[in-house]
Amino acid sequence: STSSRIAAAQEFIPKPMASDGGDDGARVVANDMSVQGNIAGDELSVEDTNDSYINILSNEQLAAFERDMLAHGGGLRSQMSSVDWTAVQKEVGSDPRVRRLIDAAAKTSAGSQATEELEQRALAMVRALHTEISPRWLSATSMVAQTMFRRLYAGIIFDKQQLRAISELIAKAHAENRSVIFLPSHKSHIDYIVLQYVFWRLVLRPVAIAAGDNLNIPIMGRLLRRCGAFFIRRSFAGPDGELYSAVVAAYLEGMLRHGSNIMFFPEGSRSRNGKLLQPKVGMLGMLLEPILSGAIDDAYIVPISIYYDKVMETRTYVTELLGAKKSTESLGYVISQAQHLLVTRRRRYGNIHVRAGTGFSARAYIERQISLQRRSGSRPSFDPRSTPADFSVLKKALAYHVLDEINRVSSITPTALVGTALLCTMSRGVGRADLIRRVAWLREKVLQTGGHVSGFFRLPGRAHWRSGEFCTHR
């Protein structure tokens, strides 16, 4: 039972000291999860500013990091428009997979009429998919996004070394006319904006972002398309599913051929409980197939972990988990959410923590997997190039490898530590000093096992929030 599991977990949490009961009168009430008093401050460790991290919302830190990147050749804004989006769109019509379906229709009794109908349908599908990143629109929306982030969040925290590695990989891929495929975790609609905003602010080449067609709503859909979104159906089922699948595969191959950087969510949908979902391998397979066949030389894959101190959609997720129907995205929904955010208390959502796994070559991963499968003994003739079942194994192996990397680099946030300590408290409440001690103990245990803990803001004092200073404890 839940109570027995909590009781078992409590055995591993330090017990209250006799002197903790009356520390300074501050108590944390566990039953309604309301925290009174600051629990992340000087008591946890000595204050310091850690140069390993950058808060993207801090102008000073951002300017210093940009200067460092430009000094090492990392700025790619001038190369942003090098992707020929019109050519990507036109090439879909001549793709062998699409032509095969159209030519098959020509042999039916309907003949040329069926061919023309399929060609028009395929063209309409491409138009619905198509994206075209506009530097002007991206600049304007990044300014709006910056205002929103600074109002709602205290920081967007990156590891500098990981950000430099991403910059170098983007530069390397651009020189080789190859794509970088970013595969982030998916917790919130804000995920769509975070990386694009950060890449623009840090003069890194932007990404084309796969989004569900439920976000292709009036006005908003057009804006998102200009900022890199390309909209894909939630399901490929239906009478034209085979043609749609061929069109999407051809479009993705065209993006790889022209060196466009791509981002999509391997989970396919937002996680409502914070845990990684089972991966959806369809789109991943479409990107692997041309590399496997040799039509595309290679691409680089970068797993990304995006975590929040507080997810903006928390209340919505709770109602959905309790059985309520998911709200359909619409222009009215967007406007109502925007109005809500305008009156939201400043920085109420804490930090956004972004961490990146090590980028790797898709072709090198494929060759390594083929070698491993053949040596394992169970699949001595493993050949994903010609055997659909083996290709399915390869897709799943890559998908779970990416999720494993996301888990490996993910941060444990201060709110998660506090929540764990409170859930392992069987009494009605816990003293402030005792809660701080429990959180510190949990943090040390996480670090001892090789985990990563996000930084704690220095409290009290909002001046540190405005300056972007934050304290990281490793």
pLDDT tens-digit readout, 285-317: 999 999 999 999 999 999 999 999 888 887 888
Residue 344: predicted pLDDT: 67
pLDDT tens readout for residues 230-287? 999 888 888 888 999 999 999 999 999 999 999 999 999 888 888 899 999 999 999 9
List of long-range contacts for 132-137, beta carbons under 8 Å, 24+ apart: 132/85, 132/86, 132/225, 132/226, 133/80, 133/81, 133/83, 133/85, 133/206, 133/208, 133/226, 133/227, 133/228, 134/226, 134/227, 135/77, 135/80, 135/81, 137/223, 137/226, 137/227
Please give the average per-residue pLDDT across 16-27, as a whole number.
42
The answer to whether the beta carbons of residues 187 and 271 sit under 8 Å apart is yes
pLDDT tens readout for residues 370-396? 999 999 878 889 999 999 999 999 999
Assess whether pLDDT exceeds 50 at residue 78. no
Assess whether pLDDT exceeds 70 at residue 430. yes
Residue 109: predicted pLDDT: 56
Beta strand pairing status for 452-453 and 411-412?
parallel
Q: Which amino acid, one-letter code, is at 158?
A: F
Three-state DSSP at 209 gives strand
- Per DSSP, 456 falls in state B
For residue 335, name the pLDDT band (cuts at 50, 70, 90).
low
Nearest to 211 by CA among 194, 245, 240, 234: 234
